Amino acid sequence: MDVRIRTAIISVFSKDRIDEIARLLNKLGIKVLSTGGTYDYLQKQGLDVISVESVTGYPSIFGGRVKTLHPKVLGGILYRREDPRDLQELEKYGIPPVDLVIVDLYPFENTVATTKDEDEIIEKIDIGGISLIRAAAKNFRDVVIVPSASHYNHLIELLQKKEGITSLEDRKYFATQAFNVSSHYDTKIFEYFNKEQNIPAFKKSIIQSFPLRYGENPHQQALFYGNLDEVFNQLHGKVISYNNIVDIDAAIALSKEFCEPTFVVIKHTNACGVASRTNLKKAWYDALACDPISAFGGVIIANRPIDTGVAEELNKLFFEILIASEYDEKALEILKSKKNRILLQKKSVDFSEVQFKSILNGALEQEKDLKTEMESDFHLVSKKAPTDTEVSDLIFANKIVKHQKSNTIVLVRGKQLIGSGTGQTSRVDALKQAIQKAHDFGFELKGAVMASDAFFPFADSVEIACREGISAVVQPGGSIKDADSISFCDEHEMSMVFTGIRHFKH
């Protein structure tokens, strides 16, 4: 059913384009009611506007906390146009009908992000605006609700095209947007209060989204919820895909572990190349050497700016994505030679320390694995202690192992990943895969170190490692047969340290 708008109420925080809307409403002969600062602003623009106070007979009170919470406002929005009793009451109490409600809420989320002053934050919890939104959205059969400044453009187009007439479809669309805005607003308020109370309730709300070409596979539809512009600038290349985003996340997480000039190469979220060196070009050579076959089509991240020399070497390889904080002008020119290659300039941004995923008929939530063991976390369990070089490599290997899919084993020598077994159903299989990788690409395992994401249930893994010349091991410990592994190390002059921290990743 089509409805002609005759009266509108405007109560907004953001005044951008609101004068344009009010001018259009005046032109269409639509009466405009407004509150407080919005009323003053529109009057100064020379627009025909009526104060809400003149309708309700009450001024704005309690420092502006109460302006529109009045039956003559909410009643004019909520009454049912085809209900005889509602119509009688409307006339009896002299309530003016309202057909269009325009609201832009106090910026609560912005205020939380910019101040710790609780009084200021609390004052930005909108009461009247959220009530207007819910009332108008509930009565969508007769009323249009514009719930935020981001919907002004749509309203302007509608008014220009239909000259103040709306369809049920129009009103239901705006009502849906209204409940999206109000639920998001309430969720952010709950999140603020729940930092102290820690009530176990799964409430997440992200307004921004963009459609992806497809999900993990072409037959799966997908969206990303969030604002990737906060994380990086895309300087070149095709549109980022679902799998790209997953790999970018893995690449950034692992790269953050390293302080020295380091390159990380990711394939299907697992590292297939990592090396730290005194300069970035050497780091690239050695990261690529880890597994040049898997690096083909991979995601690469550097923790230093990309200069021309590094860009020339990178350009010899086909890869999908390169991430760095900076690129010099010539480097960008070189790297842009491939049309679809994605080049990202990473920004400095803090990520949530909590992660969650949908599963079965609910969701799992947990703290991220942010524990990175250093030498002080190592508990020596073998008679022989690792050398300083081995300690350095054990720390390096343990940083990588926590980011690989379980079961996983990582082999490192000289701050270079030389073999990795990932996603295996047994730890021995993961070790065998890591050893095979090292052999395939010509790495010497004598003097290398081994890291495991979880304990060794039997001594077989250290026995295999010993045969290959691996000299030091880091693992969480905790097996009922730890003594067997320790005894073997002591008998064969291997060093072993426990961390007490498991790093499963599924």
pLDDT digits (tens, 9 = 90+) for 465-503: 999 999 999 999 999 999 999 999 999 999 999 999 999
- The amino acid at residue 390 is E
Check pLDDT > 80 for residue 73: yes
Rounded to 5°, angle at Cα 343 from 341 and 344: 150
Q: Which of 124, 188, 256, 268 is catalytic?
A: 268
The full 3-state SS of 437-468, as one line of letters, equals: HHHHCCCCCCCCEEEECCCCCCCHHHHHHHHC
pLDDT of residue 62: 83
CB 380 within 8 A of CB 495: yes
- Rounded Cα distance, 266 and 242, in Å: 15
Q: Is residue 399 very low, low, confident or very high in pLDDT (cuts 50, 70, 90)?
A: very high
The DSSP secondary structure of 32-73, one letter per residue, reads EEE-HHHHHHHHHTT---EEHHHHHS---BTTTTBSS-SHHH
- Rounded Cα distance, 441 and 109, in Å: 52
pLDDT of residue 328: 95
Q: Which of 15, 138, 256, 492 is catalytic?
A: 138
Q: Beta 100-104 vs 7-12: how paired, if at all?
A: parallel
Check pLDDT > 80 for residue 64: no
Query: What distances in angstroms separate CA 355 from CA 183, 216, 369, 374, one per listed residue?
Result: 21, 19, 10, 24
pLDDT of residue 25: 95
Mean pLDDT of the chain: 95
pLDDT of residue 112: 95
Check pLDDT > 80 for residue 154: yes
Which runs of E-coded beta strand occur in 155-259?
165-166, 209-211, 223-225, 232-236
> In the predicted model, what is the mean pLDDT of residues 21-29?
95
- Rounded Cα distance, 325 and 398, in Å: 25
Check pLDDT > 80 for residue 381: yes
Q: Is 336 a catalytic residue?
A: no
CB 342 within 8 A of CB 476: no
Minimal CA–CA distance to 411: which of 450, 469, 468? 450
pLDDT of residue 302: 98
pLDDT of residue 63: 79
Instruction: Give the tokens for residue 281.
Output: 């070009």
> In the predicted model, what is the mean pLDDT of residues 391-410?
98
Pinpoint the alpha helices (H) of 380-425: 388-401
Check pLDDT > 90 for residue 68: no
pLDDT digits (tens, 9 = 90+) for 192-235: 999 999 899 999 999 999 999 999 999 999 999 999 999 999 99
Q: Is residue 139 very low, low, confident or very high in pLDDT (cuts 50, 70, 90)?
A: very high
Q: Is 138 a catalytic residue?
A: yes
